[in-house]
Amino acid sequence: MVEMSSVQVGDWLPTHHFTIDRLDLIRYCGASGDFNVIHWSDRAAEAAGLPDVIAHGMLTMARSVNGVVAWAGDPSAVVEYGVRFVRPVVVPVDGSDTVTVEAEVVERIDERTVRVALDVRVGDDAVLGRAEAVVRR
């Protein structure tokens, strides 16, 4: 758990990595009610012009903030979070490429609150843009 009074603009959080596999997609379909076939059918994804099935954008968004949550020490410390969806995470049968999340404190809002910018990529390609979280402890 981070002590907010010691956090400075320019501090980097620990880098967070994750992958998404087909079982994650099935679980997310059930939990979210989003059964769009591009998330689980190879044929449908191919027919839509995709290289393979893709992760739900909201699943990618949720998994991307986990490093910030771990750093803050409490999920309720993330009081705002927003992103732009730039590129989907492709999930072939053997699992996605590694998603890497680097995060930097970019603003001190007050004594207890900071804004963190997230850079979310698969390889050199951004998958989320304008990803920012406000953390208050």
pLDDT tens sequence across 24-33 = 999 999 999 9
Nearest to 13 by CA among 131, 116, 137: 116
pLDDT at residue 53, rounded to an integer: 97
pLDDT tens sequence across 98-132 = 999 999 999 999 999 999 999 999 999 999 999 99
| pTM score above 0.85 | yes
Give me 131's structure tokens: 């990803």
pLDDT at residue 119, rounded to an integer: 98
Task: Tell me the C-alpha distance between 16 and 35, whole Å.
Answer: 28
- Going along the chain from its start, the domains and CATH numbers come out as 4-19+56-136 (3.10.129.10)
Q: In what order do the strands lie in the sheet with 99-110?
A: 16-18, 99-110, 113-122, 125-136, 78-85
Q: Judge whether 23 and 59 are in contact, CB under 8 Å.
A: no
pLDDT at 1 > cutoff 90? no
Give the torsion through C-alpha atoms of 39, 40, 44, 46, to 10 deg.
80
pLDDT tens sequence across 4-19 = 989 999 999 999 999 9
